[in-house]
Amino acid sequence: DMDGVLWHDNTPLAGFDDLFAWLRESGIPYAFATNNSSKTPQAYVQKFADMGIADVPVACIFTSAVATAQHLQSRYMAGTRLFVFGMTGIRTALDEAGFDLTEDDSQAPQAVVVGIDFNMTYARLKQATLHIRNGADFIATNADKTYPTADGLAPGAGSIVAALETATDQQAEVIGKPARPIFDLVLNYLGTPAPNTLMVGDRLDTDIQGGRDAGMKTALLFTGATTPDHLVNPHNTIWADVAYEGLPDLLKAWAGDAWWIARQKSKRGRK
């Protein structure tokens, strides 16, 4: 995962650069699976570069927008009319997949596709609601209720999806985590068996549940949506294989204390 695991907004979390140093040294294949549909994979590559990591390949970044576009290609013909409630990431993915992204209310779309929209308006909610009530399929890139920011947890795409579900009396079909499509894309890219692949995330109901359902090992970090209090909640039924405070503790477990100490000394020596 990325939001809440690697960064909050545009602020890298502790251990960010150490993680990539270890990945380069170890040669372990990696990929990123995010429910955030606001950005394209290319935009994420630029975000990594802006944070000092210039060698992240675009092919290893899987967003819920990419997973949604590929999933819909298996269902609808090219040119199918869609109404998109979302930002650049999902709009670009669907456009590149050959769909017709209509804004004309006089033309009924086959489906309404919903992702995060930081500039959402009531007018757009109304349009989406009417299309769904008139028979359009209801597709959600993800159902994350919240979105981790430097200021705290903000409304996520799931909050928009919930509003539309309430207004339409319809349940959305969710494509992103914890649903299977995005995990299948990642495993196919990595070429590793699910039991030998670790899903690292900050959210129990998406990252951890989805990873477990896909047969992967899971590691929970307390730097995003989940706190240790969630684990002692008697109603919690989702458990990761391991849990860490953040990337530094994860790396100490992976690479060992000796590597971590040497890495910190090396960083201090370069300052």
What positions carry a catalytic annotation?
1, 3
CA distance 151 to 142: 22
Q: Which among 200, 193, 198 has a CA at the least distance from the CA of 226?
A: 200
Q: What six digits make up the tokens of 69? A: 């576009």
Whether 40 contacts 32, CB under 8 Å: no
Amino acid at 50: D
- CA dist., res. 166 & res. 141, Å (int): 17
How many secondary structure helices (H) and strands (E) does the chain include?
11, 14
- Torsion over CA of 226, 231, 233 and 238, rounded to 10 degrees? 90
* Cα gap 35→151, rounded to integer Å: 20
Residues 226 and 202: their CA atoms lie apart, in Å, by 6
Report which residue type is found at 74: S
